[in-house]
Structure 1
Amino acid sequence: MTQRRRSDERASGSDDRAVSPVVGTALLLGITVILATVIGTVVLDVGVGSADAPQVTLSFSVADDGGDQVVELHHEGGEPLVAEEIVVRTEQGDEYDLSSDRLVTGERTVMVNDTGDAIGPDDVERVTVVWQDPRGSTESVLGTFRP
């Protein structure tokens, strides 16, 4: 009788042991799939994200505009700037737009507010040119000027 009990115990014990390798294999497979997805997304830069800010070199100067001094923005090199994506801010929180629709290498423009007034060097202590991602809510500072 002792032998029967041992064989019965082995038979019932083998059913419990078979579950462990199956669960372990399923967990390893799941972890592998998740890791592959994460690594693939990071390496291939796939997924919903923001556009990269334009690589551009900007400079500023003060120019005479019909007797008034205005701050000019110079595009020294790099990618073209689309005016709809550019906001010029002062330290007071005022926002200005570019006076042209597009700014490419070698061009200059003044920054104007809603009423058409340009930024004067005596009006501000700091001017910051900011690119706004058209597909998201991110911003990048492209340049800063202190007259």
Structure 2
Amino acid sequence: MELIQTLRATVSGDDDRGVSPVIGVILMVAITVILAAVIATFVLGLGEQVSQTSPQINVDWNQSTDNLGNTPSTYSVGATHDGGATVNGGNINISASDATNINPKVGAESEVQSGELFAVANGLADGDNVRLIWESDDGGTTATLSDYTVDG
């Protein structure tokens, strides 16, 4: 008889006995899942990897002929920040195949913004490759921001 009364109350909507415990269990599970995700992010170091991504910038490459009277001609190439993220000068390196002189134009403590010159490579030959390389603060990540091939 009690079972029939319980069923009638449930069907008619008059029985609210099970609502609070169900909502409580759902909230506890949700809180546990969120806490587990936050703790896992810190333990696995995923938060650090996000901040170590390379900056997105545009680079304008300028090439000129060295007026040294050499045959064949040698070239100078300059890399200028042409828009995008501001970059710490200490994180930027320029590498060039067969360059006789690489002259960085920014200091390690300076912030390089749009319109500023990164570096100049001198003594390059036709076909040499010049790369602008970003390195993370901890040295664990590097990325080529831009590259240029000398066209004589």
TM-score when normalising by structure 2: 0.53
Find the aligned partners of 2:76 and 2:136 in 1 and give their Cα distance: 27
Match of 2:117 in 1: 108
Find the aligned partners of 1:81 and 1:96 in 2 and give their Cα distance: 19
Match of 1:26 in 2: none
CA displacement at 1:130 relative to structure 2: 0.7
Counterpart amino acid of residue 93 in structure 2: V
Over 6 Å off, 4+ runs:
none
CA RMSD of aligned residues (A): 3.8
| Counterpart pick for 1:122 among 109, 121, 125 | 125
Verify the 8 A CA contact 1:88 1:95 in the aligned structure 2: no
Find the aligned partners of 2:94 and 2:100 in 1 and give their Cα distance: 8
Match of 1:5 in 2: none
Match of 2:63 in 1: 62
Match of 1:134 in 2: 137
CA displacement at 1:93 relative to structure 2: 9.8
Match of 2:18 in 1: none
CA displacement at 1:41 relative to structure 2: 2.6
**1:43-86 C-alpha deviation (Å, 9 max, x unpaired):** xx853335221110012111367x45421112110122322101
Gaps of 5+ in 1: 1-28, 112-117
Verify the 8 A CA contact 2:87 2:113 in the aligned structure 1: yes
- In structure 2, the CA distance between the partners of 1:47 and 1:77, relative to structure 1 (3 Å rule), is closer
**Residues 1:87 and 2:101 are matched in the alignment:** no
Match of 2:146 in 1: 143
- Identity of aligned pairs, percent? 25
CA displacement at 1:94 relative to structure 2: 9.1
Counterpart amino acid of residue 126 in structure 1: N
Counterpart amino acid of residue 74 in structure 1: T
Counterpart amino acid of residue 54 in structure 2: A
